[in-house]
Amino acid sequence: MQQQQYTFNGTGAAVYLSLGFIPDEVEVIAWGDAELAKAFWNVGARVAASDNGFMEHGGDQTTTLYTAGTGIEPYEGGEVLSSAMQTDVTYGGGVYLGVDRQNYSRNAAYGYASNPLTAWTLTTAGNRTGKFNDDVPASGTTRIGPGSRIQIRETVGQKVKWAVIEALTAGQGVADDEVTLSRAVKSGEILYISGMYDLAPIAVGKTTGAGIKLNITADVNVNDQIQSVVARTYDNS
């Protein structure tokens, strides 16, 4: 079995996730939902009442079944996007989303205000807070923020560590304690910072890749709530 994991920002509308392949099994977890709702589908879903999978609600312990066209379904891709199809190209929005693995710490348009983000300073270890050597861009431009993954090589010991940015306001980053990480990584060199989401709108004129269509818009894929997608392929498929 092989698997890939991605995040995206919920849109509150049906969304196409171009993963580059059609998975045999998919889990979509709504990390922003109070019940941590989880939608699930795999190729073994061969009953009409649930051939688009199901959703589990942790809070009330109920299950929702999805018939064809209402849950998770394979998407073949291969469509050249027009503005009529991709009606929203805003970062965090979109109808067709593709994998985005750019290193935004070195991205002049969306990652930093004046200088590449190369240095991390841990200013308050107890709070896991620190600063960069420069601010991230202002609101509406930056793609670095809560949800971004960061890779740092610590100066002392030269260990390379990953963390998640938990708090960072657009237009900030260079002052003490403006950045909160998921763990207290020591000061060092920034090697990589991802966007807040692994899946971002595909540009108009580009061709979509294979993946899934997610028709669910309640509990899972709620607007402006971060979602996690785990896509797997089976060895015997």
pLDDT in tens, 70-92: 999 999 999 999 999 999 999 99
| Banded pLDDT at 171 (limits 50, 70, 90) | very high
Residue 82: per-residue pLDDT: 98
pLDDT in tens, 108-151: 999 999 999 999 999 999 999 999 999 999 988 999 999 999 99
Burial of 49 (0-12, 13-18, 19+ CB in 10 A): exposed
| Banded pLDDT at 236 (limits 50, 70, 90) | confident
pLDDT in tens, 187-196: 999 999 999 9
All structural domains of the chain with their residue ranges = 2-100+199-233, 104-193
The values of phi and psi at residue 221, to 5°, are 65, 30
Q: How far apart (Å, rounded) are the C-alpha atoms in residues 29 and 216?
A: 12
Residue 59: per-residue pLDDT: 62
The pairs formed by 222-225 with CB atoms below 8 angstroms and a separation of 24 or more are 222/10, 222/12, 222/30, 222/32, 222/33, 223/10, 223/11, 223/12, 224/9, 224/10, 224/12, 224/32, 224/92, 225/9, 225/10, 225/30, 225/31, 225/32, 225/33
Residue 2: per-residue pLDDT: 87
pLDDT tops 70 at residue 237: no
